[in-house]
């Protein structure tokens, strides 16, 4: 009975061992399966992560390449800007130099203009002096006559006056009767004083130097034909010149070459109205001083010569 019991125990132990081993193997297999499954899943996940990472790397590389290209373009633009900046700097420097030169030229031009203005002022003064000389001669003659005969006659008529054109005007009624070229007695007194006055004035050499001629002009009104009036005005002017020379022989001897007679008929009226008073004013003797064109031209030539010399000097500086 005891032997049987031991065998049964061994049999039971043998039966218990194999299920336990099988369970262990199954468990290990299951664990390996799960481990393999986990590894597989992990590989899948890792593969996907790797692909994603690769894609990110590729995208990053593309962005990097684009950034590098943009940087290259920016560097190129920067170089162009630097080059442009250098050009601008060079232009600015050239402009500053040119501006400085221009300022220097402007200053020279200002000096030239100032000098020219000064010389032009001198020319104007000289020409004004020559022009004033003409009027001054006539004023001296007028003053001399008025000092001896007074300013008006017994009828209150002015003996001589200076017209707007700078000529001495003698009323025809003071010297001639209407439609006559015979000098009246009161006209002779007036012409006697004119002859003396002209001699005194012409005795001044500085005055004579600028006078070309003293022109005695005859003027009529518009009544009658122009031919008749021209003949009458010519005869009146010639008679006045002849009387002046006969009245003062020294005047003719010393300065007769300055005197001339001219006739204007009715063509230079001082009044346009068709009244008797207007016609009386138009019938007149005018005395004008003709200045030497050569003297005036010499003043202008001298100015031009000085101006050109200044211009040449400044041109070659």
Tell me what the pLDDT averaged over the chain comes to.
Answer: 80
DSSP assignments along 72-95, one per residue: HHHHHHHHHHHHHHHHHHHHHHHH
Is residue 195 over pLDDT 90? yes
pLDDT tens profile 141-194: 888 888 877 888 777 888 888 888 778 899 888 899 999 999 999 899 999 999
Mean pLDDT of 118-146: 73
**C-alpha span between 82 and 87 (Å, rounded):** 9
Identify the pLDDT of residue 235.
96
Identify the pLDDT of residue 295.
61
**Burial environment of residue 28 by CB neighbours within 10 A (0 to 12, 13 to 18, 19 or more):** exposed
**Domains along the sequence of the chain with CATH:** 135-301 (3.30.1330.60)
Identify the pLDDT of residue 7.
53
Identify the pLDDT of residue 316.
40
Helix (H, G, I), strand (E, B) or coil at 113: helix
| Residue 19 banded pLDDT, cuts 50, 70, 90 | low
**C-alpha span between 312 and 317 (Å, rounded):** 9
Query: Would you state the structure tokens that stand for residue 239, as one six-digit string?
Result: 């008679």
pLDDT tens profile 240-268: 999 999 999 999 999 999 999 999 999 99
Query: Would you state the structure tokens that stand for residue 158, as one six-digit string?
Result: 């002015």
Q: Tell me 190's DSSP state.
A: H
**C-alpha span between 80 and 24 (Å, rounded):** 80
Task: Give the N- to C-terminal CA distance of the chain in Å, as an integer.
Answer: 155
Per-residue CA distances from 268 to 173, 202, 234, 279, 282 (Å): 18, 28, 14, 12, 8
Assign 3-class secondary structure to 275-286: CHHHHHHHCEEE
| Residue 11 banded pLDDT, cuts 50, 70, 90 | low
Identify the pLDDT of residue 110.
77
Query: Would you state the structure tokens that stand for residue 240, as one six-digit string?
Result: 């006045």
Identify the pLDDT of residue 266.
93
Number of residues that make up the chain: 317
Query: Would you state the structure tokens that stand for residue 21, as one six-digit string?
Result: 């081993």
**Most trustworthy range by pLDDT among 16-20, 85-89, 271-275:** 271-275
Spatial contact of 258 and 245, defined as CB atoms under 8 Å apart:
no
Chain centroid to CA 87: 34
Is residue 1 over pLDDT 70? no
Is residue 232 over pLDDT 90? yes
**C-alpha span between 276 and 7 (Å, rounded):** 192
**Burial environment of residue 314 by CB neighbours within 10 A (0 to 12, 13 to 18, 19 or more):** middle
Identify the pLDDT of residue 229.
94
Mean pLDDT of 213-228: 93
Q: Is the dihedral of CA 97, 98, 99, 100 positive or negative?
A: positive
């Amino acid at each position: 009975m005891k032997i049987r019991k031991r065998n049964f125990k061994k049999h039971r132990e043998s039966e218990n061992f194999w299920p336990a081993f099988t369970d262990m193997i199954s468990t290990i297999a299951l664990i390996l399966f799960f481990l393999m499954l986990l590894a597989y899943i992990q590989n899948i996940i890792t593969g996907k992560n790797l692909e994603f990472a690769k894609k990110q790397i590729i995208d990053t590389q593309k962005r990097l390449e684009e950034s590098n290209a943009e940087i290259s373009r920016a560097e190129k633009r920067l170089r162009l800007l630097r080059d442009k900046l250098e050009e601008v700097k060079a232009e600015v420097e050239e402009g500053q130099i040119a501006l400085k030169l221009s300022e220097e030229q402007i200053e020279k031009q200002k000096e030239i203009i100032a000098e020219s203005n000064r010389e032009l002022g001198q020319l104007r003064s000289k020409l004004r002096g020559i022009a004033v000389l003409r009027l001054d001669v006539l004023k001296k003659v007028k003053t001399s006559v008025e000092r001896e005969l007074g300013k008006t006659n017994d009828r209150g008529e002015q003996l001589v006056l200076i017209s707007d054109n700078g000529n001495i005007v003698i009323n025809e009624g003071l010297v001639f009767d209407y439609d006559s070229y015979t000098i009246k007695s009161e006209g002779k007194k007036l012409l006697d004083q004119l002859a003396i006055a002209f001699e005194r004035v012409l005795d001044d050499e500085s005055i004579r130097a600028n006078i070309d001629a003293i022109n005695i002009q005859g003027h009529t009104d518009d009544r009658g034909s122009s031919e008749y009036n021209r003949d009458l005005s010519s005869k009146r002017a010639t008679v006045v010149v002849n009387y002046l020379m006969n009245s003062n022989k020294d005047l003719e001897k010393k300065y007769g070459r300055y005197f001339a007679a001219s006739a204007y008929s009715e063509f230079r009226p001082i009044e346009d109205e068709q009244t008797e008073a207007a016609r009386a004013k138009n019938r007149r003797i005018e005395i004008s001083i003709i200045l030497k064109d050569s003297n005036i031209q010499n003043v202008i030539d001298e100015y031009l010569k000085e101006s050109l010399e200044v211009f040449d000097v400044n041109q070659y500086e």
